[in-house]
């Protein structure tokens, strides 16, 4: 059987599993729809949390980023995993003790204000839609390449699948579907890593293989450093970012992780506070399996790519290269007309994505119209490294198909969690808590399902027609969460004097500052201005790290404003004192 047949079989089996779970775990009440009935075990919740967290960015993009950034890419590993330590120690047990359905629900009640609740809803929608757009696009790319269908149909199929298990089961259906998706994605990530590690170094453990030796006795990392320097790149194991920027990015990713609403809500689904803490610890363990393997995958794929394409004639390039040209994730233009691919340091294109011509070149390559004057002839998108890695290494067709199923599982699991946050923010925090307080449980459930349908349609449109600014800021959703939610939550737990004026002011200042910085240095304003260059960064801070500064501004503004305004009511102070003793929590409640 060929790759496409294997893909249809494996993807078909996994999707049948997801549908079966969604039908079995139908939600019959708002409690089941919002927090899975509050009875999920720590083990299942840990796996579901890991799947919720490990999006297409973790499965597809992270290893690709590290593959090209080398040592500098380690900030993503440190930031994202470190965020879970913060979550387990500082947030999960206290939020579970508070016992509300959503983050805006916590903020609205803790700060005794519908104004605070509304600001939190707006922040949740900005963060979630920013994040989910990339997930739907990832689904479209995987379907387009591996099932050989148009990317639009790929996104539509993804929308229908998410709609079924999110619409029917809400958090209950999503939770148990995510347990299955975690098993699929981790198996899909580890199998090719083990294959390639044994193939290159003779060691079946990828983490050890990365530090092992190849056939001639040379250490693999030394070999990759040598290949890099020969082609004019910096050494793979050396970094170029400033110490401050590394710190800022790592901290922004950490507190952003701890402030992501679709991750926080997972800790409302377990029966007890102790279970919330266990869930966070187990999630960290399950996530670490992939995250400690990603650097090894990066090294293996980077080495194989360079050895496969550099200085090779296009006509002799393996078929995988020509297949992936159709996705726009890899491109070559023969600038010196020698028929060989010159892969050296420098930009191959003027733009960020290749613009293809109708005709092909003399060697059969897909010609690109926006090539730069630099010597480098190869454009490679980060996202190709994990998806094409098994093909580059010549692994069996079923392994290639398995990676496709894993990528879909990662994207769909996170998309479902994010869409549920969007849905509950509208149905529970806007309609139930503010517009129609006397709405029945049945009517609220109906509005939740309507909201999730509308959110899926919007997310799908972002996937089919991705605006440039959305594509550019997907990785910055963490900065938005850090700048808005994290200070309001952490101060709400540990500062009894924090009041509604301080929290509202801080969230508005934080998210506005982060959005402004992203627009000026990452995306520009379409038709009005271009993004400013890195030489203009404030304090030498990249947009990925600016969430740290915006978060600190949020904290300062919140603290100062709260001290010059009226103290919170006595009953709120008593609530804060109560939740800081994380034991004996009752069930999550919407009232």
Domain boundary among 466, 483, 505: 466
Structure tokens at 523: 């995306």
579 located within any domain = no
pLDDT by residue (tens digit) across 369-413? 767 777 788 888 777 788 888 888 888 888 888 888 888 777 777
Query: What is the C-alpha separation between 426 and 428, in angstroms, rounded?
Result: 6
Q: Cβ(345)–Cβ(372) under 8 Å?
A: no
In this structure, the answer to whether residues 216 and 254 fall within a common structural domain is yes
pLDDT by residue (tens digit) across 331-354? 888 787 788 888 888 777 766 666
**Distance of alpha carbon 467 from the chain centroid:** 18
Domain boundary among 466, 497, 526: 466
Query: What is the C-alpha separation between 310 and 259, in angstroms, rounded?
Result: 43
DSSP class of residue 211 equals T
Query: What is the C-alpha separation between 324 and 93, in angstroms, rounded?
Result: 46
What string of H, E and C letters represents the secondary structure of 237-285?
CCCCCCHHHHHHHHHHHHHHHHCCHHHHHHHHCCCCHHHHHHHHHHHHH
In this structure, the answer to whether residues 226 and 364 fall within a common structural domain is no
Query: What is the C-alpha separation between 512 and 500, in angstroms, rounded?
Result: 18
pTM: 0.80
Long-range contacts of 427-433 (CB under 8 A, 24+ apart): 427/451, 428/30, 428/34, 428/101, 428/102, 428/105, 428/590, 429/102, 429/104, 429/105, 429/108, 429/117, 429/120, 429/121, 430/118, 430/121, 432/590, 433/105, 433/108, 433/114, 433/117
Rounded percentage of the chain residues whose pLDDT exceeds 70: 86
In this structure, the answer to whether residues 342 and 409 fall within a common structural domain is no
Residue with tokens 């593959």: 67
Structure tokens at 26: 């139908």
Mean pLDDT of 528-538: 76
In this structure, the answer to whether residues 299 and 346 fall within a common structural domain is no
At residue 558 the predicted structure's pLDDT band, cuts being 50, 70 and 90, is very high
pLDDT by residue (tens digit) across 30-40? 555 555 555 67
At residue 474 the predicted structure's pLDDT band, cuts being 50, 70 and 90, is low
In this structure, the answer to whether residues 223 and 367 fall within a common structural domain is no
Q: Cβ(524)–Cβ(531) under 8 Å?
A: yes
In this structure, the answer to whether residues 170 and 216 fall within a common structural domain is yes
Residue ranges of E strands in 270-377: 330-332, 356-360, 366-368
Task: Answer yes or no: is pLDDT of 221 > 60.
Answer: yes
In this structure, the answer to whether residues 173 and 87 fall within a common structural domain is yes
In this structure, the answer to whether residues 101 and 168 fall within a common structural domain is yes
DSSP 94-109: HHHHHT-SSHHHHHHH
Domain boundary among 442, 466, 490: 466
Query: What is the C-alpha separation between 533 and 433, in angstroms, rounded?
Result: 44
What is the total count of domains within the chain?
2
Mean pLDDT of 29-52: 70
Structure tokens at 168: 């029917």
pLDDT by residue (tens digit) across 62-86? 788 888 888 888 888 888 778 877 8
Nearest to 549 by CA among 119, 251, 259: 251
Q: Cβ(489)–Cβ(96) under 8 Å?
A: no
Query: What is the C-alpha separation between 390 and 397, in angstroms, rounded?
Result: 9
Domain extent, residue 192, equals: 29-304+395-466
In this structure, the answer to whether residues 83 and 223 fall within a common structural domain is yes
In this structure, the answer to whether residues 218 and 283 fall within a common structural domain is yes
57 located within any domain = yes
CA distances from 126 to 68, 120, 121, 132, 585 (A): 29, 10, 9, 10, 31
pLDDT by residue (tens digit) across 165-209? 666 656 666 777 788 888 888 988 899 999 999 988 888 999 898
Residue with tokens 């259906």: 173
> What stretch of H or E contains 380?
strand 378-380
Residue 72 is part of a domain; what is its CATH number? Answer: 1.20.1730.10
Residues with Cβ within 8 Å of 535's Cβ and at least 6 positions away in sequence, in order, are: none
């Amino acid at each position: 059987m060929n790759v496409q047949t294997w893909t249809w079989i494996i993807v078909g089996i996994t999707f049948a599993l997801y549908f079966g779970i969604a039908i079995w775990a139908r939600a019959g009440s708002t409690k089941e729809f919002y927090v899975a009935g509050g009875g999920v075990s720590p083990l299942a919740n840990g796996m579901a949390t890991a799947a919720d967290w490990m999006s297409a960015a973790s499965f597809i993009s992270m290893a690709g980023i590290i593959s090209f950034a080398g040592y500098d890419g380690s900030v993503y590993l440190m930031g994202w995993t470190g965020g879970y330590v913060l979550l387990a120690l500082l947030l999960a047990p206290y939020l579970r003790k508070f016992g509300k359905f959503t983050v805006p629900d916590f903020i609205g009640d803790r700060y005794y204000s519908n104004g605070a609740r509304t600001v939190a809803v707006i922040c949740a929608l900005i963060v979630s839609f920013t994040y989910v757009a990339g997930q739907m696009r990832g689904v479209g790319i995987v379907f387009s390449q591996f099932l050989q269908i148009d990317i639009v149909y790929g996104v539509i199929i993804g929308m229908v699948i998410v709609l079924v298990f999110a619409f029917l089961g809400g958090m209950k259906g999503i939770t148990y579907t995510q347990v299955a998706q975690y098993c699929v994605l981790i198996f899909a990530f580890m199998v090719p890593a083990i294959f390639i590690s044994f193939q290159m170094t003779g060691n079946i453990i990828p983490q050890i293989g990365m530090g092992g030796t190849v056939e001639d006795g040379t250490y693999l990392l030394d070999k990759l450093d040598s290949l890099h320097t020969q082609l004019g790149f910096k050494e793979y194991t050396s970094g170029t970012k400033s110490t401050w920027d590394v710190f800022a990015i790592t901290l922004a990713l950490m507190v952003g992780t701890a402030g992501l609403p679709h991750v926080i809500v997972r800790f409302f689904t377990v029966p007890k506070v102790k279970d919330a803490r266990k869930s966070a610890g187990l999630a960290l363990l399950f996530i670490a399996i992939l995250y400690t393997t990603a650097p090894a995958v990066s090294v293996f794929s980077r080495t194989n790519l360079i050895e496969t394409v550099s200085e090779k004639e296009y006509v002799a390039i393996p078929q995988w290269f020509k297949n992936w040209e159709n996705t726009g994730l890899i491109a070559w233009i023969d600038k010196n007309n020698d028929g060989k691919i010159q892969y050296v340091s420098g930009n191959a294109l003027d733009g960020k994505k290749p613009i293809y011509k109708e005709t092909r070149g003399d060697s059969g390559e897909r010609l690109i119209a926006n090539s730069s004057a630099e010597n480098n002839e190869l454009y490679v998108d980060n996202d190709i490294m994990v998806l094409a890695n098994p093909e580059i290494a010549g692994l069996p067709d079923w392994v290639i198909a398995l990676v496709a199923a894993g990528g879909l599982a990662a994207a769909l699991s996170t998309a479902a969690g994010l869409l549920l946050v969007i849905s509950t923010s509208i149905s529970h925090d806007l309609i139930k808590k503010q517009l129609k307080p006397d709405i029945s449980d049945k009517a609220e459930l109906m509005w939740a399902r309507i909201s999730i349908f509308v959110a899926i349609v919007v997310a799908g449109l972002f996937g089919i027609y991705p605006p440039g600014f959305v594509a550019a800021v997907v990785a910055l959703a963490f900065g938005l969460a850090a700048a808005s939610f994290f200070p309001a939550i952490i101060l709400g737990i540990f500062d009894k004097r924090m009041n509604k004026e301080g929290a509202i002011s801080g969230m508005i200042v934080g998210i506005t500052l982060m959005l402004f910085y992203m627009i000026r240095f990452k995306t520009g304003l379409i038709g009005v201005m271009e993004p400013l260059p890195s030489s203009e960064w404030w304090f030498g801070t990249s947009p990925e790290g600016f969430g740290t500064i915006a978060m600190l501004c949020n904290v300062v503004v919140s603290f100062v404003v709260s001290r010059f305004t009226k103290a919170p009511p006595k009953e709120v102070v008593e609530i804060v004192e109560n939740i800081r003793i994380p034991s004996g929590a009752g069930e999550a409640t919407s009232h």
